[in-house]
Amino acid sequence: MVTDPALADELIDTLRTWVRKEVLPVASDYEHADEFPEPLVAQMREMGLFGATIPVEYGGLDLDTLTYARVVEELAFGWMSLSGVLNTHMIGSNLIKRFGTDEQKQRWLPKMATGEVRGAFSLSEPDAGSDTKALRCKATPDGDTYLIDGTKMWVTNGERAGIVALAARAPEGITCFIVEKEPGPRFEGISVSRDIHKLGYRGLETVEMVYEGHRVPAANILGGDEWLGRGLQLILSSLELGRVNVASRGVGVARAAFEAAITYAQQRETFGVPISGHQAIQFKLADMATKLEASRLLVHNAARKIDNGERADVEAGMAKLFASETALEVATEAMRIHGGYGYTTELPVERYYRDAPLMIIGEGTNEIQRMVIARGLLSRYALDRGDGA
């Protein structure tokens, strides 16, 4: 389904106005205090953003991926952490939407669409990040339930979540379980063992979670018994949406840094003229704007392929790779254009500089993206050698 362009533009205009009016004035205060922005998140719920890609029949907005990418850009422009509040929630709801049984969709999606129940996504472990086959979290059958034991890392929204899409190793292989829990640091056999402090991406929790004999009904195997042992396939396919999200964040952060830089360059004077009159600054601004626009086009291309039902592993990887590298470069150049003021906490430029590296690492490092892109390209352009080789 493609979102009506006029409705999409209206939504983005409304969101842009909200970001400038409600988010920009308070983002730095929340970020420096590392405080969860509950009032802003409540307004995001009222706007229906937690149901952005959930079908209307379950109470969602049913936006296409392209419009969702534009939503993420606007949120990240205001404060990147707000897009993180949505990302793992949307990965979880998208998994249920695409692969859940009818009963699972009816049970979980309506509450996720309103934001009444927030979702988290849990794949990584202390010794298993990019190497997903090294997962050790176990799911041991026990009657009509599974006992989950293991430690999970880098769980964004883990404490506040009511639903966790969890990868665990059952006897048949890696399986995706939908774990239901009460928000908080401890619930039955689940505990938040530590809050991981970060350079940037502050104001929302990134935690380590420990599962000790936590019981999950067999009915919570995503997609039902037919997907027992085949969960990694489901989980990895969901990362295409996650990578579009991270790439869109890169565009939002890069845009915020660029706008700050080009505004400041016209205000700051040296040798009797605005620094925007110096060719060295003009070249920086030209490169920043060009790479920003290229990043946005890559994101939109990947989003359209997903909306068309096409495989977008290469395109999502390209978008994530280029947009994240651009975000870091543009944030760095924005700081240099601001000079000493860019290094202070008085302006948000230093926040862009601290937030940008996350996109290079999150949803698969950029080294992994290059592997994904190369493998996809070699598959698409494979030579028919005709010799059986």
| Residues marked as catalytic | 363
Residues β-bridged to residue 148: 139, 214
In angstroms, how far is CA 188 from the centroid of its own chain? Answer: 28
With 0-12 / 13-18 / 19 or more C-beta atoms within 10 angstroms meaning exposed / middle / buried, residue 293 is middle
DSSP state of 384: -
* H helix runs in the chain, sequence order: 5-18, 27-33, 38-46, 65-78, 80-99, 102-114, 231-267, 279-307, 313-338, 349-361, 366-380
CB 177 within 8 A of CB 203: no
CB 125 within 8 A of CB 155: no
CB-hemisphere CA count at 13 Å for 258?
A: 24
Spatial neighbors of 105 by CB under 8 A, at least 6 apart, are 58, 96, 97
Spatial neighbors of 331 by CB under 8 A, at least 6 apart, are 253, 254, 257, 349, 352, 353, 355, 356
For the chain, how long is the longest CA-to-CA vector?
Answer: 80
Phi, psi of 221 (to 5 degrees): -70, 120
